[in-house]
Homo-oligomer: A and B are copies of this chain.
Amino acid sequence: MPTEAYLRKREKLIKKDRALRPDTVTSQSLTPDERCADEILRSMRAAEAESVWGLDSKSNHPHGSQQMFPGMEFLTAQETIIGTKVFDIISKMPKGGLLHAHLGATVRTDVLLKLGLRQPAMHVRIFSALTPSNLKTVLPQFRLLPQSQRTRIASITDAQYVLGSWVPIQNARNNFDQTLGGPPGFDRWVNGSQMIDPSEAYRTHNTGAQIWDRFEKVLDVSWGIIFNLPVFTEYIRELLLSSIDDGISYVEPRVNFWDKYMRGEDGEENLPHRVWVQVFERVVDEVRTQMHAQGRDDEFIGARIIYCTLRICEPAELDWFLDDCFALAQEFPHLIAGFDLVGREDSLKPLIYYYEPLTRFVERQKETGVHVPFIFHAGETCGDGSPADLNLYDAILLGTKRIGHGLSIYKHPSLMEMCKEKGICIEMCPISNEILRFTGSMPMHPLPAVLNHGVHVVLCSDDPAVFGNMGLSFDFFQVFMASEVAGVATLRSFVWDSITFSSLDDTEKEEAYEKLERRWALFVRYIIDTYESTV
């Protein structure tokens, strides 16, 4: 046995080493109920690490049967996760805000397909004939067509189908070839074409460049269905309601404004960006009214848009988007939360390429008093000193409010210091990082290093419709299972930080904390009442 003196010295060192963590303060002020819930959760995690994730457990991995482990690859673990007690608890946790998610990948693909099927003018086409063996590689293209372009073509799979011609979605589904599974086969094909599956992520596309290529393609499929006002409207509603179901009460989606006009119900592509924002606002208000009517005011705070365009444009083109964003922020100051550039950092333009338009944008804000902070993607890379890694320097020097991903920030001591000084929070997307092959599994993820250096982090789902990590429960679960340091204080700290570092104003934040506090107490009670006797 070690001496008492040694154990004290050791304990003191461990405390010192963890003193900077954002959850350290939280852990010192836990209520007795929270402490009890913490013990329950820790025991449960340790028990399930053996009983569910232990050496005898096997997953249906695309490589064949494979041993499981806590925090293992999400796509092969998901079914198992859902059956655990820890997941039951985390799925019931109030989660605060979702601060990093790309709008076009935030609603379940099967729900999106239903929205698409409701539109008589929605059409679909393909450019290679479908066979049972190519269902995964031949992707559908969707579009809501104007009257003049609509067709009555009966099927996308019969011998008469001319590749590239548009077929009404209902026809395509109803007459989907029986050898391909008929209408249910159509649904499976369309849903699969909007997601990444385990054999892609962990076998055929198991490198960053390959998986990103697949990722962009499946995003395009969804966007074809979403990109018209009737679907877009219901899509936003689904995002808000399904988030609420997962305990999320505030969302700040990144909306891609690259296309200048959206299609309307008539199929004409003529709805400008301000209409998109108006629809967003209307749906948010309707959901708020709906929640109020149900006596569920505590469950919903609101939603705001982070204006995005793609890091493929030339600096001069970016000026257009910045002007556009500025105009929207002037008209909808309560809705435009920030500005970002999106796309694969490892291959597209670095932030510094846009230095001039970006600094002009900042100047203009100073002159006018309109405030649209940068909320930049940066450091979504495994590079060390690569342009994507260097984006972190520019994001911070250009005054970013938060950092999207910031995966490589753990390598940068000075940048972590600056994040602390300037109150810059990192939007970490653990499951996204793992599926897009920036990390092998959750235990390899650098999140704990960032926390231990005292940098504030919020957990985010990034593109949940593509990855299957709907809501925030799965990301919280993976993080919680892969760390023996994490406890109730860690969870609470993530949740509260998602309000603190959101774009809500101070009054709104106060109200949000109050709502959270009430729900959190109920949540902690749920843990104790349901599981105290089982551990």
- A-side residues, CB < 8 A to B, are 1-3, 6, 9-10, 13-14, 16-17, 19-20, 55, 61, 63-64, 66-69, 72, 203-204, 206-210, 352, 355-356, 359, 382-386, 389-390, 393-394, 396-397, 410-415, 437-441, 443-444, 446, 448-449, 452-454, 482-486
A444 contacts B449, C-beta separation under 8 Å: no
Could you say which residues of chain B place their CB within 8 Å of the CB of A454?
A: 413
Give bound CA distance, A186 to B19, whole Å: 58
A402 → chain B, closest Cβ, in Å?
19
A336 → chain B, closest Cβ, in Å?
26
Among the interface residues A1, A385, A482, which one has the most CB atoms of the partner chain B within 10 A?
A: A385
Further 17 A-B residue pairs, CB within 8 A, beyond A6-B397, A64-B204? A1-B355, A10-B393, A13-B393, A13-B415, A14-B390, A14-B393, A16-B414, A19-B414, A63-B63, A63-B203, A63-B204, A66-B206, A382-B482, A384-B483, A384-B485, A411-B449, A413-B454
Could you say which residues of chain B place their CB within 8 Å of the CB of A415?
A: 13, 17
The quantity of this chain's copies bound in the complex is 2
Could you say which residues of chain B place their CB within 8 Å of the CB of A444?
A: 382, 438-440, 444
Could you say which residues of chain B place their CB within 8 Å of the CB of A412?
A: 17, 452
Could you say which residues of chain B place their CB within 8 Å of the CB of A397?
A: 6, 9-10, 13
Give bound CA distance, A21 to B306, whole Å: 37
**A448 touches which one: B393, B411, B485 (CB < 8 A)?**
B411
A424 → chain B, closest Cβ, in Å?
14
Could you say which residues of chain B place their CB within 8 Å of the CB of A482?
A: 382, 384
Give bound CA distance, A474 to B534, whole Å: 52
Given A69-B207, A438-B444, answer yes or no on A484-B384 (Cβ-Cβ < 8 Å): yes
Residue of B nearest to A483 (CB): B384
B439 contacts A440, C-beta separation under 8 Å: yes
A350 → chain B, closest Cβ, in Å?
11
Residue of B nearest to A443 (CB): B382
Could you say which residues of chain B place their CB within 8 Å of the CB of A19?
A: 414
A355 contacts B69, C-beta separation under 8 Å: no
B207 contacts A72, C-beta separation under 8 Å: yes
Among the interface residues A6, A440, A446, which one has the most CB atoms of the partner chain B within 10 A?
A: A440
Residue of B nearest to A356 (CB): B1
Could you say which residues of chain B place their CB within 8 Å of the CB of A14?
A: 390, 393
A63 contacts B411, C-beta separation under 8 Å: no
Give bound CA distance, A484 to B437, whole Å: 20
Could you say which residues of chain B place their CB within 8 Å of the CB of A441?
A: 382
Given A385-B484, A386-B484, A443-B382, answer yes or no on A413-B452 (Cβ-Cβ < 8 Å): yes
A203 contacts B485, C-beta separation under 8 Å: no
